């Protein structure tokens, strides 16, 4: 059964509050409805400019292929571009982790129901007594950043860190200030802390992640020394 044959109620259940590609453009869906228009009763979709927005624009759905679901692979991204005007760095810093959630629900495309966005330092901040949400609500800006991710060079990221608190270096690596030691920056993978970051040098303390860091250096054309270290 094609999209056009489904009821507006079903489509609304499947897409309300989710981000989709609509005619190759990123859109946020409010609802579907059938406009009473003589014999045809065309199917229409209401788009909102962002979550929580009351205003919406309506367009007629003409073709099945107009709507395309969005899903990403798990990765780190920066919630905003730090060098843009008007940017306020959130409490939890820039680096966020995206992963998919296979829970039972209706929504088909990218939405808070189908993914989980977590911070890198939320739990540490809470331990310090600074209330921070570890789970972040999916925003339009997040989706834009995931579609066109922007990662700084390694040394630039280290320079930026005091201002931006956490920053993603690549889809698989991020920097965060140490919550344990003074003047130490940690580098972490999607799964765990793996080493220490210094200007022009990464000390990897986890054997299994050594290759991952080497791959990052190679792909980003950085001139950084990567050292495999043992814990003393």
Partner 1 sequence: MPDNLELTDGVEHLIEEFNADPYQQGALQEAEHRRLVDRNQDILMQPVYGQQQVARPEAVDPFEAYRVAVRQQGNQQMFRNAPLARALEDGAPVKKRKVNDEITFSSLIRDLFYIPAPPRPQLQDMDEVCRVLKLLTQKPYHFEDGKSLVGIEVEVENVLSVGPNIQLLFWQMVEDGSLRNRGHEFRNRGPIPLNYVEPALELLWRELNPSIDFSGRTSIHVHMDVRGFELNQLLTLLCVYAVVETLLFKFASLTRRSNIFCVPITETSLLTNIPFDSPKRIVGSILDTWQKYAALNLLSLQRFGTVEFRHMPGTKDTHKLLIWLDMLNHMKVFAYKTTLETALEDIGRLNTTSQYKEFLERVFGSLTAYFDMSNLARDMEKGVYIVKNLAVANPFHMSLSAMKVSEHSLLAKIVGFGSLVDRIGSEKYQLVRQFRSETKLPGTLAQIYDSLMRNPYHYLSTHSEKSELILKIIGATA
Interface residues with partner 1 (CB under 8 A) are 1, 69, 71, 73-74, 84-89, 91, 99-105, 107-108, 114, 116, 121, 124-125, 127-128, 130, 161-163, 165, 172, 176-186, 189-195, 205-209, 211-212, 215, 231
**Long-range contacts, 216-220 (Cβ 8 Å, 24+):** 216/169, 216/170, 216/172, 216/173, 219/170, 220/151, 220/153, 220/154, 220/169, 220/170
Report the residue number, 48 or 107, with the smaller CB distance to partner 1.
Answer: 107
Residue 55: alpha-carbon gap to chain centroid: 25
DSSP state of 36: -
Q: How far is the CB of 38 from partner 1 (least distance, A)?
A: 28
| Residue closer to partner 1 (CB basis): 190 or 226 | 190
Residues 6+ apart with CB under 8 A from 52: none
> Smallest distance from the beta carbon of 59 to partner 1, in angstroms?
23
Taking the complex as a whole, the smallest distance from the CB of residue 57 to partner 1 amounts, in Å, to 26
Give yes or no for a contact between 202 and 194, defined as CB atoms under 8 angstroms apart: no
Backbone angles phi, psi at 198, to 5 degrees: -130, 160
Name the residue nearer to partner 1 (CB basis): 35 or 201.
201
Distance CA 191, CA 206 (A): 12
The helix or strand, by DSSP H or E, that contains position 95, with its residue range, turns out to be strand 95-100
Which one, 62 or 229, has the nearer CB to partner 1?
Answer: 229
Q: Which is nearer to partner 1, 58 or 141 (CB)?
A: 141
Beta carbon of residue 174, minimum distance to partner 1 (angstroms, whole number) = 14
In the complex, the smallest distance separating the C-beta of residue 160 from partner 1, rounded to whole angstroms, is 11
Least Å distance, CB 161 to partner 1, is 8
Backbone angles phi, psi at 223, to 5 degrees: -110, 75
Distance CA 14, CA 207 (A): 44
Q: At CB < 8 A and 24+ separation, what contacts does 223-226 make?
A: 224/154, 224/200, 225/200, 225/201, 226/201, 226/202
Closest CB to partner 1 among 56 and 155?
155
At its nearest, how many Å lie between partner 1 and the CB of residue 125?
A: 7
Nearer to partner 1, 4 or 128 (CB): 128
């Amino acid at each position: 059964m094609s999209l056009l044959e489904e009821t507006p109620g079903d489509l609304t259940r499947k897409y309300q509050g989710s981000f989709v590609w609509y005619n190759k453009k990123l859109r946020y869906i409010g609802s579907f409805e059938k406009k009473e228009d003589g014999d045809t009763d065309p199917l229409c979709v209401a788009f909102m400019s962002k979550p929580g927005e009351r205003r919406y624009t309506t367009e007629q759905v003409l073709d099945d292929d107009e709507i395309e679901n969005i899903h990403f692979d798990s990765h780190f991204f920066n919630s905003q571009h730090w060098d843009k005007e008007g940017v306020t760095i959130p409490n939890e810093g820039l680096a966020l982790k995206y992963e998919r959630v296979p829970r039972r629900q209706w929504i088909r495309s990218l939405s808070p129901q189908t993914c989980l966005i977590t911070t890198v330092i939320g739990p540490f901040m809470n331990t310090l007594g600074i209330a921070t949400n570890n789970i972040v609500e999916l925003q339009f800006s997040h989706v834009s950043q995931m579609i066109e991710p922007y990662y700084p060079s390694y040394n630039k990221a280290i320079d930026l860190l005091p201002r931006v608190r956490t920053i993603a270096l690549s889809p698989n690596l991020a920097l965060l200030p140490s919550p344990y030691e003074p003047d130490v920056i940690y580098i972490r993978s999607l799964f765990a802390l793996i080493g220490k970051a210094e200007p022009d040098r990464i000390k990897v303390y986890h054997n299994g992640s050594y290759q991952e860091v080497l791959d990052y250096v190679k792909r980003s054309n950085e001139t950084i020394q990567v050292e495999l270290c043992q814990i003393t």
